[in-house]
């Protein structure tokens, strides 16, 4: 039997090319642990604490934020993920159909830079988590050499998981889901016993504006996963339920975001410094008892490792669409080397630069939103993608358009990006329209970016939709078959 990415222990060899129909045997329920693993981040604790300390919300308002944020952001993740089962290819490869072969390099490059930047931050944080565990358990103190060893171990582990491919990523996420469930129960029980609930329940309520700002802040983190959504749905059959794709994304993220944000909000009542902790890993490890601190640090470490593995997995596809003509697993190694080099610089000589670096990467996240607006609007008119045209980067490609660019998509993306930056504020940059208006007050610059770029793309004249060639093996189905699949999807069950 021919091996596929779904075969146990197999190395995924497919890159950005379209997956043939006979290999698309995944199930939508397998996406649930994927989005659980994408959210096991200790930063959610800090965000939950900031809802109480910075935005002055009470516990009930924090609950509203913790529910609404994953519904908003991962609802978008699920919706864009539908393109993966329509086209059977990674997000940035499908994006060629929208922006053109050359035009796609513009959003692709910014998204790639943002990915390796955040992968560097996660690698450094993961290394510090391992150093903290060694200190608590064995009493080993960190030094420059041990710092580099831990960073190397973390990056190599990340490369191993992401390099093996989607099967390894999903298996690790599955086991991490179980581990996270046990950890959450332990911490919740501890908090229930040791928390002064009279203080928690008598916190003064914040403003409605603060609630909206909180939702925007936490939801913005999920937006960075939207371009990656098709990477994890391209092995689904064309008849897979679109509702199930969206539901598993929202459910998988929500089951993590809800307890983590609420735990942070409860902890902040007695330890408000959590909201401003520069290193939440060691900080929370100090306020929990040792028997609970060690499991916490382990799950934090595993979470960062999985998030980095998923990000690096997608970044490998992005590197291929940018012109790195190497197999997918070697394309992943490009980001691994970058994370190792820049992580070493941050840990050894430039730790004071960390805050500014994160602020800069936050600005690059607006590029994600501009891409989402254009790509999402394009999905309203496109139900299939030509696999042959996607991989043909010459002038003969049906996705060459005008000089390799789709003018409508590129213009809408660029204008949306510029407008979004005007409404965005960070420690590194504040846009001229970021204050004294509703969007700036609520921290919804990323929402403005999606709306502006999407609406512009809808109204601008666009090239005709290119359908798959009937004799193209990579295309999988003809236009009529694809349309039938779209109709059938709504009646498919969540277990497809």
Q: Specify the pLDDT at position 173.
A: 78
Q: Does residue 402 sit in helix, strand or coil?
A: strand
CA atoms lying within 13 Å on the CB side of residue 213 = 21
Summarize the confidence of residues 369-389 as an average pLDDT. 93
pLDDT over threshold 90, residue 358: no
Q: Specify the pLDDT at position 351.
A: 58
Summarize the confidence of residues 446-473 as an average pLDDT. 80
| Between 494 and 356, residue with greater pLDDT | 356
Tell me the pLDDT band of 342, cut-offs 50, 70 and 90: confident
Summarize the confidence of residues 177-182 as an average pLDDT. 76
pLDDT over threshold 90, residue 68: yes
Q: In total, how many domains does the chain have?
A: 1
Using alpha carbons, select from 342, 385, 276, 300 the residue that is nearest to residue 113.
Answer: 342
User: 274 lies in a domain?
Assistant: yes
Tell me the pLDDT band of 195, cut-offs 50, 70 and 90: confident
Tell me the pLDDT band of 219, cut-offs 50, 70 and 90: confident
Summarize the confidence of residues 319-346 as an average pLDDT. 82
User: 16 lies in a domain?
Assistant: no
User: pLDDT per residue over 250-281, tens digit each?
Assistant: 999 999 899 889 888 888 877 777 666 656 66
Summarize the confidence of residues 48-55 as an average pLDDT. 85
Tell me the pLDDT band of 115, cut-offs 50, 70 and 90: confident
Asked if residues 135 and 141 have their Cβ atoms less than 8 Å apart, the reply is: yes
| 337: its two tokens | 């080397």
Q: Specify the pLDDT at position 91.
A: 92
Helix (H) or strand (E) segment spanning residue 257: helix 242-270
Q: Specify the pLDDT at position 420.
A: 87
User: 440 lies in a domain?
Assistant: yes
Asked if residues 340 and 123 have their Cβ atoms less than 8 Å apart, the reply is: yes
Tell me the pLDDT band of 120, cut-offs 50, 70 and 90: confident
Q: Does residue 326 sit in helix, strand or coil?
A: coil
Summarize the confidence of residues 287-299 as an average pLDDT. 78
Distance CA 49, CA 62 (A): 9
Tell me the pLDDT band of 463, cut-offs 50, 70 and 90: confident
User: 494 lies in a domain?
Assistant: no
Helix axes 280-287, 105-138, angle to 10 degrees: 30
CB-based burial of residue 459 (10 Å sphere; 0-12 exposed, 13-18 middle, 19+ buried)? exposed
Q: How many helices (H) and strands (E) does the chain have?
A: 19, 0
User: 367 lies in a domain?
Assistant: yes
Q: Does residue 25 sit in helix, strand or coil?
A: coil
Q: Say what percent of the chain tops pLDDT 90.
A: 29
Tell me the pLDDT band of 490, cut-offs 50, 70 and 90: very low
Distance CA 261, CA 258 (A): 6
Summarize the confidence of residues 136-160 as an average pLDDT. 84
| Between 135 and 494, residue with greater pLDDT | 135
Q: Specify the pLDDT at position 362.
A: 66
Domain interval for residue 453: 21-463
pLDDT over threshold 70, residue 395: yes
pLDDT over threshold 50, residue 8: no
User: 488 lies in a domain?
Assistant: no
CATH number of the domain within which 409 lies: 1.10.4160.10
| Between 115 and 454, residue with greater pLDDT | 454
Mean pLDDT of the chain: 81
Q: Residue 461 CB: number of other CB atoms within 10 A? A: 6
- Range with lowest mean pLDDT among 113-122, 189-198, 396-405: 189-198
pLDDT over threshold 50, residue 244: yes
Q: Specify the pLDDT at position 356.
A: 60
Task: Give the C-alpha distances (Å, rounded to integers) separating 167 from 4, 302, 321.
Answer: 10, 17, 22
pTM for the model stands at: 0.84
User: 247 lies in a domain?
Assistant: yes
Q: Does residue 430 sit in helix, strand or coil?
A: strand
Distance CA 416, CA 356 (A): 24
User: pLDDT per residue over 11-29, tens digit each?
Assistant: 777 888 899 988 898 899 9
User: 188 lies in a domain?
Assistant: yes
Helix ranges, 290-406 (H): 290-321, 328-348, 354-379, 387-391
User: pLDDT per residue over 401-447, tens digit each?
Assistant: 999 999 999 999 999 999 888 887 776 677 777 776 666 666 678 88
Tell me the pLDDT band of 496, cut-offs 50, 70 and 90: very low
Contacts of 297 (CB under 8 A, 6+ apart): 129, 132, 133, 136, 281, 285
pLDDT over threshold 50, residue 488: no
Tell me the pLDDT band of 189, cut-offs 50, 70 and 90: confident
């Amino acid at each position: 039997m021919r091996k596929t990415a779904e075969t146990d222990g197999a190395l995924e060899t497919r890159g950005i090319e379209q997956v043939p129909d006979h290999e698309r045997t995944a199930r939508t329920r397998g996406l649930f642990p994927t989005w659980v693993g994408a959210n096991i981040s200790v930063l959610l604790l800090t965000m939950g604490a900031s809802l109480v300390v910075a935005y002055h919300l009470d516990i009930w308002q924090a609950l509203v934020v913790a529910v609404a944020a994953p519904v908003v952001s991962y609802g978008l993740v699920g919706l864009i993920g539908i393109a993966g089962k329509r086209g059977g290819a990674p997000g940035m490869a499908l994006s060629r159909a929208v922006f053109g072969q050359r035009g796609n390099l513009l959003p692709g490059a910014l998204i790639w830079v943002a990915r390796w930047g955040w992968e560097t931050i996660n690698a450094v944080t993961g290394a510090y988590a391992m150093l903290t565990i060694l200190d608590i358990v064995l009493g080993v103190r960190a030094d420059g050499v041990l710092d580099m060893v831990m960073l190397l171990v973390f990056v190599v582990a990340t490369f191993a998981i992401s390099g093996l491919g989607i099967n390894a990523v999903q298996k690790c996420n599955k086991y991490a889901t179980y581990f996270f469930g046990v950890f959450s129960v332990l911490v919740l029980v501890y908090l229930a016993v040791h928390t002064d609930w009279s203080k928690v329940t008598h916190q003064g309520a914040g403003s409605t504006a603060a609630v909206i700002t909180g939702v925007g802040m936490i939801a913005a983190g999920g937006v960075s996963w939207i371009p990656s959504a098709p990477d994890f749905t391209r092995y689904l059959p064309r008849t897979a339920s679109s509702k199930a794709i969206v539901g598993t994304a929202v459910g998988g993220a929500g089951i993590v975001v809800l307890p983590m944000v609420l735990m942070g909000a409860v902890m902040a009542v007695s330890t408000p410094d959590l909201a401003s902790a520069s290193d939440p890993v060691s900080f929370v490890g100090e306020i929990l008892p040792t028997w609970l601190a060690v499991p916490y640090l382990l799950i934090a470490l595993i979470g960062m490792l999985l998030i980095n593995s998923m990000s690096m997995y997608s970044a490998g596809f992005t590197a291929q669409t940018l012109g790195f003509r190497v197999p997918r697993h070697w394309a992943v190694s490009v980001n691994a080397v970058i994370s190792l080099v820049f992580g070493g610089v941050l840990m050894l000589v430039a730790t004071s630069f960390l805050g500014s670096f994160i602020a800069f990467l936050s600005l690059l996240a607006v590029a994600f939103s501009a891409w989402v607006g254009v790509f999402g609007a394009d999905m309203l008119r496109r139900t299939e993608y030509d696999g042959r045209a996607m991989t043909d980067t010459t002038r003969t490609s049906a996705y060459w358009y005008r000089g390799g660019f789709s003018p409508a998509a590129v213009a809408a993306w660029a204008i949306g990006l510029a407008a979004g930056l005007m409404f965005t504020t960070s420690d590194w940059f504040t846009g001229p329209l970021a204050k004294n208006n509703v969007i700036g007050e609520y921290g919804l610059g990323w929402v403005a970016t999606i709306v502006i770029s999407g609406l512009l793309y809808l109204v601008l004249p666009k090239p005709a939709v290119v359908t798959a060639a009937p004799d193209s093996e990579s295309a999988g189905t003809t236009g009529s078959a694809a349309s039938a699949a779209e109709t059938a999807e709504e009646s498919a069950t969540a277990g497809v």
